[in-house]
Amino acid sequence: MLRVGLTGGIGAGKSEVSRRLAACGAVIVDADLIAREVVEPGMPGLAAVVAEFGTGVLRPDGALDRPALGRIVFADPERLAALNAIVHPLVRERSAELEGAAGPDDVVVQDVPLLAENGLAPLYDLVIVVDAADDVRLDRLVRLRGMAPDEARDRMAAQAGRAERLAVADIVIDNGGPLAALDPQVREVWQQLRVRAAAVADG
């Protein structure tokens, strides 16, 4: 099994790359998706978040009010660290379960937004960074996700800078242009991953 860490700053297009790798045949372990699952109603993770941040982060139906929580944590590094201390161990546990179900010659791609920030690069056989310039990312967050510019800048500032992410990259996928330019890059990367996975499987 080849263990790949996939990361990129918010707005860089990591999810687009993840979808394309899944279509190629990669086993995707999506930390964002798992992070949502572990704080669903009835889960211990949600109870821990409410204990830390109060009932103001709940919607009337008892589900997590993500925008309300986001306003608290993305403007305050200490509160963000408190949230991460709750959620990250739960995400790691669930990710390990999913990875354990993969076959010996599979390519397992762990989609990890905060890989660089949390020093996780050594956990993987290689790291792929999806990269785009900060101004491109800001434009996407405002234009495509409807964020206010200040909110988008806060989200970007809460993450590692480009240089920090690129420093841990074994492979960089440039997503500063149109989506059509992604396809050939992802196909080329997939071929490299298959070769590496076969070598690992052969011992």
pLDDT per residue over 2-37, tens digit each?
999 999 999 999 999 999 999 999 999 998 889 999
Give the whole-number percent of the chain exceeding pLDDT 90: 83
Q: What is the mean pLDDT of the chain?
A: 94
pLDDT of residue 202: 80
pLDDT digits (tens, 9 = 90+) for 79-89: 999 999 999 99
- The pLDDT assigned to 31 comes to 80
Query: Cα separation of 89 and 84, whole Å?
Result: 8
CB 23 within 8 A of CB 148: no
Scan for tokens 């397992």, then name that residue.
108
Mean pLDDT calculated for residue range 33-54: 95
77 or 31: which leads in pLDDT? 77
Q: What pLDDT sits at residue 200?
A: 85
Confidence band for 201, pLDDT divided at 50, 70 and 90: confident
Planar angle of CA 87, 91, 95, nearest 5 degrees: 175
Range of the domain at 53: 2-201
Whether 114 has a pLDDT exceeding 90, the answer reads no
The edge-to-edge listing of strands for the beta sheet with 27-30 is 27-30, 107-111, 2-8, 126-131, 171-174
CATH number at residue 67: 3.40.50.300
Look at 101 and 24; give whichever has higher pLDDT: 24
Copy the structure tokens of residue 38.
């572990």
Separation between Cα atoms, residue 108 and residue 138, nearest integer Å? 30
Task: Give CA–CA dist 144/139, Å, rounded.
Answer: 8
Q: What is the pTM of this model?
A: 0.77
Length, in residues, of the chain: 203
State residue 74's pLDDT score.
87
pLDDT at residue 182, as a whole number: 94
Domain count, the chain: 1
Segment 97-122 mean pLDDT: 91
Q: Region 102-118: what's the mean pLDDT?
A: 91
**Per-residue confidence at 54, pLDDT binned at 50, 70, 90?**
very high
Instruction: Please report the pLDDT score of residue 67 as a whole number.
Output: 92
pLDDT at 203 over 80: no
